[in-house]
Structure formats: structure tokens, C-alpha cells
């Protein structure tokens, strides 16, 4: 296993412990496991209709994760790293790009985001419905 002196020294100076894990055993790091779970859920919402195209949407999944505000930090990972809010994705306007391939890419991205919003809403409603199945109203005196 190769770890450069740079990384060992940097972690030592920051007072953090460098944890080694392999690509096929994310259980080593609980936070990685949580991130993987979030991204898997997101990709499932994206590619529900076309499961073989999940790789196409991976960059948007990364953008989504890094720009969402997390409950524990009250910041997005982007803002935590860079110190300012992430840039917004601009909506596609047919007249904004002069190159046809750029127009096609932006149009495709907007269609995918629209599909994603719908799929995420359906998934949230399903989770909410299942959560309420086990909920019992209790009153205490």
C-alpha cells in the first residue's frame, strides 16, 4: 500500500487519523457508507426508467450531493470546503448558446433534472407514507 509522505505529514499536522479502506469495503468509514447510500438513492431516482444509463447522470449526482445543505453541518459540502455558496445551474434557454451541441447538452440536462424532481417527489411521498403506517398518536397527561 502506497501513501505518500505528503499525506501522512498533512494528516499528522492537522491532528487527524488517516484511515485506510479499500474500494470494496466502505464499511471502514461510516460517513462514506452514508454518502454512498445517498448517491445510490439519487441515482435510483434518476435511472428508474433506464437503469443502464446511471453512469450518464453521475456528474449531476455529485453536483446534487455537494450543493445540498446537510442537516448536521447546516452547510453544503461545497460551501464547507470553499467558504462560499455553490454556483447555481442556469436553466436552459434556447438563445443562450450558439453551438448546437451545447444547446443539446443543456436541454438534455434540464429534461433529466425535471425527471429527477418528479422521481424524488414520488420517492419522498412513498417514504412518508411508510413512516406514517407505523406512527401511533399518543397522548400523555
Q: What is the pLDDT of residues 101-125, one digit of tens each?
A: 888 878 877 877 777 778 778 877 8
Cell of 11: 494528516
Q: Is the Cβ–Cβ distance between 19 and 33 less than 8 Å?
A: no
Cell of 45: 431516482
Distance CA 48, CA 33 (A): 22
Cell of 114: 425535471
Residue 52 has a pLDDT of 81
Q: What is the pLDDT of residues 26-69, one digit of tens each?
A: 566 677 777 778 778 777 777 777 778 778 777 877 888 888 88
- Percent of the chain scoring above 90 in pLDDT: 1
Domain residue extents for the chain: 92-141
pLDDT band at 23 (very low <50, low <70, confident <90, very high): low
Amino acid at each position: 500500500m502506497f501513501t505518500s509522505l505528503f499525506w501522512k505529514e498533512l494528516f499528522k499536522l492537522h491532528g487527524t487519523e488517516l484511515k485506510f479502506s479499500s474500494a470494496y469495503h466502505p464499511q471502514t468509514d461510516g460517513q462514506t457508507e452514508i454518502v454512498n447510500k445517498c448517491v445510490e438513492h439519487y441515482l435510483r431516482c434518476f435511472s428508474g426508467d433506464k437503469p443502464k444509463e446511471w453512469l450518464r447522470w453521475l456528474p449531476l449526482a455529485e453536483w446534487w450531493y455537494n450543493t445540498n445543505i446537510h442537516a448536521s453541518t447546516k452547510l453544503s459540502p461545497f460551501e464547507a470546503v470553499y467558504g462560499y455558496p455553490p454556483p447555481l445551474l442556469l436553466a436552459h434557454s434556447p438563445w443562450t448558446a450558439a453551438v448546437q451541441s451545447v444547446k443539446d447538452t443543456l436541454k438534455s440536462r434540464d429534461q433529466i433534472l425535471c425527471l429527477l424532481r418528479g422521481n424524488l417527489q414520488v420517492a419522498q411521498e412513498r417514504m412518508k407514507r411508510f413512516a406514517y403506517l407505523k406512527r401511533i398518536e399518543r397522548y400523555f397527561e
